């Protein structure tokens, strides 16, 4: 993509309600624009990040055999009245009346709708287990939407729902999801910490939340240091669930079961939450199957959420400096920037175009900064939008046979001989 043809409206000033760094940087980098409180438009750069996050989430779900589908954002109130949650959800639920006077709502979550779909089609234990998910916008009329996309009113969530014959089997589904979650966050270059959690309005008695570490995070976490060095190839959910981890108000120094030298204290952001709630919804919404003996059994369910749009903010909280965003490679909107400092110079432009077509041919998503603007603005913008690797082409360097390669994450620039540039960049991109 040529920068001159791409819409990245970077701005200097941010509104005063942008309190936290990710909110400020998303506005500065032209990723989002607030439309009304807690509701945002995702501009092209922001959307690229959102799609990259979504794709990693999707791949890890598909890897464990979950089926993607898509349920609507607008739901009828009927099923919620049956489950008893129509009143429980209170003012957080956005209620809508259609032209025939029917009560509708903008879905804050999908337990009711999916349970109804399940019960329409599945009648036998032979068709279990099932695990269905979608990645869809939700609406919760939060009392105080804040922190940009981290606590929005409209937000993108990946939510799964698992269906099993009994508690024992449901726990296998739960643990599979647990493992997929850890893998998902590790792939994004984040450090996930899993904690036992309250179930809140979703219900049930088993729940974990997944926090990712970020110095600016809202929660203070106390946890076993082992949780910081997980190997994605050998994750054992039972073992992981046995490690100590607690948020501030659950932690009691005198009752903490692990040695002081093994205890880490950091800040975190909740990006995922999983629940096992047994037959709470299946009984109310008639999701029964016949077991091996022909007996009707209410299915055991779990639900599993990842805050896809929240992750865009959380990733920035975990990866930034005073110059801007430092995207991990897996989610970066562009993997590589080619910054042509002198677009008027024939040699610089020939070289830049040469690299551009070369890397694009290798399917590396590259931003070619061909803009007619000051050198300072170019360097600043590319650091602000956080492209992990930047090839900086200047007239003087070029005539000396060298090119500057900048590693945004290490905040390090190196001069490399022209002949070695391609190999050096590819090595960095694959590291």
Q: Which residues bind ligand 5CA (CB under 6 A)?
A: 109, 140, 142, 151-152, 155, 157, 159, 202, 270-273, 303-305, 307, 309-310
**Cα(179)–Cα(104) distance, integer angstroms:** 36
Of 223 and 304, CB closest to ligand 5CA: 304
**Closest distance of CB 145 from ligand 5CA, Å:** 7
DSSP class of residue 358 equals H
Instruction: Count CA atoms within 13 Å of residue 205 on its CB side.
Output: 4
Secondary structure of residue 231 in the 3-state scheme: coil
DSSP, residue by residue, 275-342: EEEETHHHHHTT-EEE-TTS-EEEPEEEEEEEEHHHHHHHHHHHSEETTEE---TTT-S-SEEEEES-
Of 179 and 273, CB closest to ligand 5CA: 273
Give φ, ψ of 34 to 5 degrees: -65, 135
**Closest distance of CB 181 from ligand 5CA, Å:** 10
Of 140 and 183, CB closest to ligand 5CA: 140
Of 70 and 412, CB closest to ligand 5CA: 70
Give φ, ψ of 381 to 5 degrees: -65, -40
**Closest distance of CB 236 from ligand 5CA, Å:** 23
Q: Which of 426, 362, 363 is nearest to 391 (CA)?
A: 426
Of 57 and 421, CB closest to ligand 5CA: 57
- Alpha-carbon distances, residue 334 vs 135, 215, 279 (angstroms): 23, 25, 45
**Closest distance of CB 9 from ligand 5CA, Å:** 23
Strand order in the sheet with 402-407: 366-369, 336-340, 389-393, 402-407, 412-417
Secondary structure of residue 113 in the 3-state scheme: helix
**Closest distance of CB 202 from ligand 5CA, Å:** 5
**Closest distance of CB 57 from ligand 5CA, Å:** 11
**Closest distance of CB 158 from ligand 5CA, Å:** 8
Q: Which residue is nearest to ligand 5CA (CB)?
A: 307
Of 29 and 202, CB closest to ligand 5CA: 202
Of 168 and 198, CB closest to ligand 5CA: 198
Of 209 and 383, CB closest to ligand 5CA: 209
**Closest distance of CB 131 from ligand 5CA, Å:** 12
Residue 390 CA, distance from chain mean position: 25
- Alpha-carbon distances, residue 297 vs 120, 131, 183, 292 (angstroms): 15, 18, 33, 10
Of 180 and 389, CB closest to ligand 5CA: 180
The residue length of the chain stands at: 431
**Closest distance of CB 128 from ligand 5CA, Å:** 19
Give φ, ψ of 360 to 5 degrees: -65, -40
């Amino acid at each position: 993509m040529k920068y001159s043809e791409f819409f990245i409206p970077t701005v200097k000033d941010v509104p005063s309600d942008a309190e936290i760094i990710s909110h400020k940087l998303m506005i500065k980098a032209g990723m989002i624009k607030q439309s009304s409180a807690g509701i945002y438009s995702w501009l092209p750069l922001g959307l690229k990040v959102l799609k990259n996050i979504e794709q990693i989430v999707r791949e890890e779900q598909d890897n464990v055999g979950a089926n993607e589908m898509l349920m609507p954002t607008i739901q009828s109130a009927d099923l919620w009245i049956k489950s008893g949650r129509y009143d429980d959800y209170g003012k957080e639920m956005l209620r809508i009346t259609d032209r025939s006077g029917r009560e509708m709502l903008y879905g804050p979550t999908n337990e009711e709708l999916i349970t109804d779909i399940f019960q329409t089609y599945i009648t036998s234990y032979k068709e279990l287990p099932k695990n269905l998910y979608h990645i869809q916008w939700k609406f919760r009329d939060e009392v105080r939407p804040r922190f940009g996309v981290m606590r929005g009113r409209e937000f993108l969530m990946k939510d799964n729902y698992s269906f099993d014959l009994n508690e024992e089997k449901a726990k296998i589904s739960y643990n599979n999801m647990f493992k997929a979650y850890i893998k998902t966050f590790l792939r994004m270059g984040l450090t996930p910490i899993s904690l036992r959690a309250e179930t809140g309005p979703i219900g049930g008695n088993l729940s974990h939340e997944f926090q990712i570490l970020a110095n600016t995070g809202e929660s203070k976490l106390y946890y076993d240091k082992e949780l910081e060095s997980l190997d994605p190839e050998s994750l054992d959910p039972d073992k992981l669930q046995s490690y100590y981890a607690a948020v501030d108000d659950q932690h009691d120094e005198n009752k903490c079961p692990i040695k002081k030298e093994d205890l880490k204290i950091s800040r975190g952001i909740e990006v995922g939450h999983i629940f096992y709630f047994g037959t709470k919804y299946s009984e109310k919404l008639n999701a029964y199957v016949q077991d091996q003996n022909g007996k009707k059994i209410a299915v055991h369910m779990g639900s599993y959420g990842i805050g896809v749009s929240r992750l865009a903010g959380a990733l920035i909280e975990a990866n930034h400096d005073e110059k801007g965003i430092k995207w991990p490679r897996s989610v970066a909107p562009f993997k590589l920037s080619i910054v042509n400092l002198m677009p008027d110079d024939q040699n610089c432009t020939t070289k830049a175009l040469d690299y551009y077509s070369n890397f694009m041919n290798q399917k590396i998503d590259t931003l070619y900064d061909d803009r007619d603007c000051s050198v300072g603005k170019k360097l600043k913008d590319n650091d602000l939008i956080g492209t992990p690797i930047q090839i900086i082409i200047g007239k003087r360097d070029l005539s000396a046979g060298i090119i500057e390669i900048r590693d945004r994450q290490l905040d390090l620039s190196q001069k490399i001989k022209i002949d070695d540039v391609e190999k050096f960049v590819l090595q960095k991109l694959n590291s």
